[in-house]
Structure 1
Amino acid sequence: MKPKLWIKSAAFDLSWFIAPMAIPPLIVFFLPEQFTNQQKTEIFPWSWILIVLSIDVAHVYTTVYKTYFKPSAFKIHRLKLWAVPFLVWVAGALIYGVSSKLFWSLLAYFAVFHFIRQQYGFFRLYSKRETSYKWRKRVLSVAIYAVTIIPILIWHVRGQQNFNWMTAGDFWYINLPKLEPYLNALMLIVLALYLFVEWKEKQDSGYLNTPRILLTLSTCFSYYVSIVLTNNDFIFSLVNVIGHGIPYLALVHYSEKKELNAESPPLLKIVLSKWGWILFYAIVFAFAYFEETLWDVFIWRENTVPFGWLYGTFKQLNDDQIISLFIPLLIMPQVVHYILDGYIWRKKDYQILQH
C-alpha cells in the first residue's frame, strides 16, 4: 500500500513548501536589469520591508506558538525557555566584547546551519518509508545536505560577493577559485547518485517519492541560483528568505492546528481558526516590527521608510559598551529561535505530521 507522501496534501505542500523554494529563483531569470545588476550591493528599501521584515524576521517569532504560547510545551521546556534567552544574551555580550567580527561570523554560520537543517527536516518528513539499504540511506541523507552546502562552499572559494549572510565579511573565505569546477562536478555527481537511488526506490516500492524529489531539486535550484549563478543582494535575499521563511510559517501553523484540542489555550484557538491566520501573522509581524525598530533607530539608521519617523525622537547609540550589550540583546530572539528549533521538532512532531 502506497503511504501518504505529502505532509498535508499535494496542493498545500506544493503551495507552501515547494513553491517558495522553486518559484523565486525561476523569477530571477525574468527580472529587469535594474534588479539583477551585479553591481547592486544593497537591497531595495521596499523589498527589505516585504522580504526581510515581513518574512525573515517575522518567521523567527512563530516559535512562540510552539513554546511560550503553548502551555503543554512550556511545561516540558520551562527551564530551557527561561534559561536559553538569558544565556544567549550573556554569551553574545561576552563574544561581542572580545570581537564584533567574531560575533557576526559565529552568528552567520549558526544561521547557515539552521537553514540547512530546516531543509533536512522537511526531507525527513517526506521520507516516511525508509529504504532497507544502508548505502541508499546515506546517499539520500548526503544529497539534501550537499545541495545546500556545496553552493556555500563555492561562495567561500570565490571570496567576498555583493551579498552577505549577515554583515559584510561575516564569512571566513578561502579564496581559492580554482576549486569551483571541482565543487560543481561534485554537485553533479551527488545529484546523479540521488536520482539513481530515487529510481531504485521506485522500482522496489512501485511509486515515486515526488514530494521528496521536488524538495531536493528545488532546494538545489534555489541555493545554486541565489549563491552561484548570481551576485546580487536583492536576489540572494529574495530567494533565500522566501524559501526559508514561508515554509516555516506554514509548517508551524499547520502543525499547531493539527494538535489543537479542547485543552488548547484561547489564543491558539483564535489564531488557528478559519480566519485566525491573519492574527497569527499579525502577532509575529508586530514582534518583528518592534525588533527592527530598535535595530534601525538605535544602531543602523538605514531604513528611513518604515522607521525614519522616529529618528528625531531617539538618538543613535554611540557608546561602545552599551552597544556591546544592546546588539546581543537584539539578536537574542533569532538565536533562541535557532536553538529551540532543535527541541520543538523532535520525532514526536514528525509522527504527528505524518498521520
Structure 2
Amino acid sequence: MTALAESRAPARIDFGPWLWSPTVDLALFGGSAVLALGVVAAARALGFSPGPLPEWGWLVFVLAVDVAHVHSTLFRTYLDGGELRRHPVRYAGIPVLVYAAGVALYLAGPMVFWRVLAYLALFHFIRQQVGWVAVYRARAGQRGLLDRVLDDATVYVCTLYPVLDWHTRLSSTRFAWFMPGDFVDLSRLASSWVGPARLVWLALLVAFALRQLQLALTQSVVHTGKIVVVATTAAIWYVGIVVTNSDFDFTVTNVIVHGVPYFGLLWFYARARRKEAPTRLGSQIVAGGVGAFLGLLLIVAFLEEMAWDRLVWHERVWLFGAGHVDLGAIALALVVPLLTVPQGTHYVLDGLIWRRGDTRTRPSQRAALGFLP
C-alpha cells in the first residue's frame, strides 16, 4: 500500500541548477532587474524621467556600477601573479593592441572611434547575456542542439530587436550609447525590418516558454536561473529602449542588469581563488571582505573618471576639481584611446577568460560558476 502510494505521488520538481544559491542567483539576476525597473518607475513618479541623467545618477549608475564593474576583471587577471605568468603575452599584448587600434580609429575621425567602440560595447553586453544562459545550460547538463539554438536565438532576438527598433528613430531618441551620433543612421533599412523582427521576437519568446513548460511536465525540472536571465533580458532591453525614450531610463536599465551580476561573479571567483593562492595581491584585498573588494573598484573608477574629466570632458568641476587641460587634436588622438584601454581590454578579455577551456582547468573558476561545491 505504501509502495503504491509512493508510486502515485507526484514527482518532485527541481527548480535548479543554481550558480551560487537560489537566494544569490535570484538576487543578482532577478533582483537587479526588479531594482532597475523600480528605479525607473520611481524616477518617473518623482519627475527625474524622462530626461537626462542627473549628476547623482551618474555617480551611482555610471561611475559606481558601469565603470567599476569593468575594473572587477582585475581580480581575474592583473591582480593575480600566477595568471600573469600563465598568459604573459595575452595580458601584455591585448592592452597594447587595443591602444594601437584606438589611436588608428581616432585618427580616422573621433566619431569613427566612438562608433566602433559603441558597437563593440553593444556586442559585449549582448554576449554577456548569452554567456549567462550558456552557463546555466551547462550546469543543467543540457547538451542537445535544440536547447542551445533556442536559448541563444531567444537571447539574441531579445537584445537585437530593441536595438533595431532604436535604429529606426535615432534622430528622435533622447539617449545614446556613448554620445549622439555614435550609432549609424540606418532608419530606412531598420524600418523595413523592424516589423518582421518584432514577430520573430514574439515567436521565440513563446517557443522558449513552451520549451520550459515541456521540460517541467516531462522531466519535472524548471530551469529557474536560465528562465530568469532570459525573462529579465527581454524585459530590460524592451523597457529601456523600446517603451521609454529617456537617457535616465536607458542608463539605469542598461548598466544595473549588466554590472551587478558581473560584480557577483568576480567576487565569488576572487573568494575561491583566495583559497588556492592566499598570497596573491587580489586574494589579500579580498581578505578584507566585500567592502575592500568594492572599495578598490570604486577608487579605480573614480580615478579613471577624474582623468577623463580633467583631460577630455571638463564637465564635473564640482566632483573632480578645476585645473583641466585643453588638448589639441593630436593629443586627443593619443589620450582618448589611452583612457579607453581599460574598457576595451575588458571587452576583449571577457571573451577569453571565461571560456570552457579555462573553466575546466581552473578549480577557482569552476567554483565561481557553480561547477564545484
The TM-score, its normalising length taken from structure 2, stands at: 0.87
Shift of 1:173: 2.4
Residue 28, structure 1, aligned to residue 37, structure 2 = no
Change (3 A) 1:82 1:136: closer
Q: Could you list the per-position Cα deviations for residues 208-251 of structure 1 after superposition, in whole angstroms to 9, with x for gaps in the alignment? A: 11111111101110111000000111111111111111111111
- Separation (CA, whole Å) in 1 of partners of 2:39 and 2:54: 17
- Separation (CA, whole Å) in 1 of partners of 2:283 and 2:46: 46
1:146-295 equivalence runs, <5 A: 146-160=157-171, 161-176=173-188, 177=191, 179-273=193-287, 275-295=288-308
**2:318 maps to what in 1?**
305
Residue 145, structure 1, aligned to residue 156, structure 2 = yes
**1:16 maps to what in 2?**
28
- Separation (CA, whole Å) in 2 of partners of 1:195 and 1:84: 40
- Separation (CA, whole Å) in 1 of partners of 2:207 and 2:38: 24
> What code does the residue aligned with 2:215 have?
E
In structure 2, which of residues 331, 347, 352 is the aligned counterpart of residue 343 of structure 1? 352
> What code does the residue aligned with 1:5 have?
P
Shift of 1:266: 4.7
Q: Secondary structure at the match of 2:340?
A: helix
Q: Secondary structure at the match of 2:180?
A: coil
Shift of 1:264: 3.0
**1:50 maps to what in 2?**
60
In structure 1, which of residues 104, 113, 122 is the aligned counterpart of residue 114 of structure 2? 104
Shift of 1:204: 3.4
- Separation (CA, whole Å) in 2 of partners of 1:259 and 1:200: 39
Q: Secondary structure at the match of 1:239?
A: helix
> What code does the residue aligned with 2:339 have?
L
- Separation (CA, whole Å) in 2 of partners of 1:9 and 1:193: 27
- Separation (CA, whole Å) in 1 of partners of 2:339 and 2:87: 23
In structure 2, which of residues 65, 71, 83 is the aligned counterpart of residue 73 of structure 1? 83
> What code does the residue aligned with 1:250 have?
G
Shift of 1:301: 1.2
Change (3 A) 1:291 1:132: closer
Please tell me whether Structure 1 or Structure 2 has the larger radius of gyration of its CA atoms.
2
> What code does the residue aligned with 1:210 have?
T
Change (3 A) 1:245 1:131: closer
Q: Secondary structure at the match of 1:344?
A: coil
**2:337 maps to what in 1?**
328
- Consecutive unaligned residues of structure 1, counting only runs of 5 or more, are none
Q: Secondary structure at the match of 1:36?
A: coil
RMSD: 2.0
> What code does the residue aligned with 2:177 have?
W
- Separation (CA, whole Å) in 1 of partners of 2:228 and 2:42: 22
- Separation (CA, whole Å) in 1 of partners of 2:283 and 2:262: 20
Change (3 A) 1:35 1:183: farther
Change (3 A) 1:302 1:76: same
- Separation (CA, whole Å) in 2 of partners of 1:3 and 1:210: 6
Shift of 1:304: 2.9
Residue 64, structure 1, aligned to residue 74, structure 2 = yes
Shift of 1:26: 4.0
Q: Could you list the per-position Cα deviations for residues 225-283 of structure 1 after superposition, in whole angstroms to 9, with x for gaps in the alignment? A: 0000001111111111111111111110112212332533253333333x521111111
Q: Secondary structure at the match of 2:352?
A: helix
- Separation (CA, whole Å) in 1 of partners of 2:276 and 2:36: 39
Residue 117, structure 1, aligned to residue 117, structure 2 = no
The aligned length equals 347
Q: Could you list the per-position Cα deviations for residues 319-344 of structure 1 after superposition, in whole angstroms to 9, with x for gaps in the alignment? A: 10001110000011100001111221
- Consecutive unaligned residues of structure 2, counting only runs of 5 or more, are 1-11, 360-364
Change (3 A) 1:157 1:325: same
Mapped contact 1:5–1:211 kept (Cα < 8 A): yes
Change (3 A) 1:100 1:184: same
**1:93 maps to what in 2?**
103
Shift of 1:345: 0.7
- Separation (CA, whole Å) in 2 of partners of 1:132 and 1:331: 38
Shift of 1:292: 0.8
Shift of 1:4: 4.9
The TM-score, its normalising length taken from structure 1, stands at: 0.92
